[in-house]
Amino acid sequence: MPRWEPDARERLVAAALHLFTEQGYDNTTVAEITERAGVAKSTFFRLFPDKREVLAAGQEVLSRLLTQGIAAAPEDASPLAAVAAGLDCAAEAMTPFNRELAPRVRAVIATSAELQERDQLKQVGLGAAMADALRARGVPDPATALAAEMGVLAFKDAFAAWTVPGNERELGELAHEALDRLRGSLTDLG
């Protein structure tokens, strides 16, 4: 087996999802994942600390993209406009691989309380990253927290709609619509 595998991360994620679906998350070992992916066990642990993290592959990249987009928004952008710029940056990076695997990831997460907890922590982490990026722009609290949470909700809603079989709309467009709906809901609160 070669020392360096060019697409090892994607192969490991795909292999893990297949195995989690076939035999359950708890019944799948790292050894089985690496065997199915055709990579060494050391490659797995170089990329992921444990099998749970396979399902969160890309979270750091997503956080980075959201915060980069927020930071790159025009100086006079409102907090929600800056969040929209972050959503655009993240949406541009999503690939057919993300779209294809998302329903299986959701299905596996639904089978385990531990994975559901991890998914919730992921959402909290994305919100914290966006709030930090907004604070760096000089947005005061509590507006940072509210705008960041709206960004997380918009991304989650848009991503779910984007991954529905047969959907042909772009993720960025869906994210903007979700953010607009949330903004409208704020006014409905009175």
Q: How far is CA 151 from its chain centroid?
A: 12
pLDDT above 70 (res 35): yes
Parse the chain into domains and list their residue ranges. Answer: 8-54, 58-188
Structure confidence by residue, pLDDT tens digits, 49-88? 988 888 877 788 899 999 999 999 999 999 999 999 999 9
Q: Which residue has the tokens 């994620």?
A: 13
In the CATH scheme, what is the code of domain 8-54? 1.10.10.60
> Which pLDDT band holds residue 97 (cuts at 50, 70, 90)?
confident
**pLDDT tens track for 131-183:** 999 999 999 999 999 999 999 999 999 999 999 988 989 999 999 999 999 99
Report phi then psi at 153, rounded to 5. Answer: -60, -40
Q: Which two tokens stand for residue 123?
A: 């959402």
Q: Tell me if the pTM is above 0.75.
A: yes
Estimate the share of the chain in helix, then strand, then coil, as percent rounded to the nearest 5: 75, 0, 25
Cα end-to-end span (Å), the chain = 63
Q: Kindly report whether the peptide bond that precedes residue 142 is cis, defined as omega within 30 degrees of 0.
A: yes
- Dmax (CA) for the chain in angstroms is 63
Per-residue confidence band for 15, with pLDDT thresholds at 50, 70 and 90 = very high
**Alpha carbons 41 and 22: distance in angstroms, whole number:** 21
* CATH number among 3.40.440.10, 3.40.50.12780, 1.10.357.10, 3.10.520.10, domain 58-188: 1.10.357.10
